[in-house]
Amino acid sequence: MIVAGDRDPYPDACDTPARKLLFDLVSIPSPSGEEEAAAERLRAFFEANGREAWIDEVGNVRAPADDSVLCTSHVDTVPGDIPVEVKPALESAYDVDPDDPTGGEALWGRGTVDATGPLVAMAVAAVETGVSFVGVVGEETSSRGARHLAAERDPPDALVNGEPSGWNGITLGYRGFLAGTYVNTSESGHTSRPEPNAIQHAIDWWAGVEDVFDPADPETPVFDQVTTKPVSFDGGLSEDGLAVEATVDVQLRVPPSRTVDEVHELAEGQLTTGSVHWKEPIPPVMESPRTPLARAFRVAIREQGGDVRLLRKTGTSDMNLFAAAWDCPMVTYGPGNSELDHAPDEHLPLAELDRAVAVLSDVCRDRR
């Protein structure tokens, strides 16, 4: 019997260990950098179920066991105050059975989808089957937890990374991520002068970057494109009034068909003046659907009555970092509709959580 918690009372619908743990963790605010309380609750869950667990030097929750599978997901969420309550799921977000007397009961709250729901599914399945588990921190910002884990730990035999894919979907591919800050300074002068200033140089550079990555075929799927996005722009006179300054924060998403180094070189090649300070990149990843791990998921999902969906995501996850460091089969999996990531109506049907736990447990038993 799995022990989840001793809160009294839980909502009536939170009547299983997985549902109770989800309610507890969603009730604890855990934005990136403030994961300590949620990490302690997760550690306590493993210890209550007879598993050794501890919090490492960067804040990850570690519960090692059978390394035939490592289940991992992130403890942190984005900020946002969504009342934690059980109420019906939105039919526009989930397939809700109109004949279900529960009304498709769902837990609403920040993190239910991204990624506390997947985190709980990983934790409960790890306890049920005796496989290894790590809850990592900082995924929504620098991925410091995953970076530390990949550098410090030997690879498992197989990895399941927790992010929302829907209980009947598995994610095999993510684009990579390259972020940087363009900076430039020019002498101040009257605005009637024809010479371009730092702001114009910044605009010209970014226009060149957008142009060089504009897909030749407009029908190219987004997953296969390099997409470019400026995320902030700051420019104007310096405090002493003697210079014009410009700073642009930019992000580029890199498909598996290209390398981060190639994209970096092409972006740098558009510079005529100024410089770009690049952050540590995250490479793209595309896993095979034919690995024993992927096959185990297909079997487990079908046994639960689902039609399997194989997904490629246009964003980035910690699986990118694990794939770059470890040579082992891996997939990303977890309950929830990813369109609700970071959204004000984030919620997860409790029945979807149950199905995900069943699928994960079957997969872990198959791989042991």
Residues annotated as catalytic are 76, 139
Is 201 within any annotated ligand binding site?
no
| Degrees to nearest 5, angle at CA 35 with 34 and 41 | 140
Is 318 within any annotated ligand binding site?
no
Q: Using CA atoms, how far apart are residues 149 and 145, in angstroms rounded to an integer?
A: 6
Q: Using CA atoms, how far apart are residues 346 and 238, in angstroms rounded to an integer?
A: 42
Is 114 within any annotated ligand binding site?
yes
Q: Using CA atoms, how far apart are residues 60 and 70, in angstroms rounded to an integer?
A: 14
Is 342 within any annotated ligand binding site?
yes
Is 234 within any annotated ligand binding site?
no
Check residue 208 and give left, alpha or beta (phi > 0: left; psi -120 to 50: alpha): alpha
Q: Which residues are annotated as a binding site for Zn(2+)?
A: 74, 114, 140, 163, 342
Q: Which residues are annotated as a binding site?
A: 74, 114, 140, 163, 342
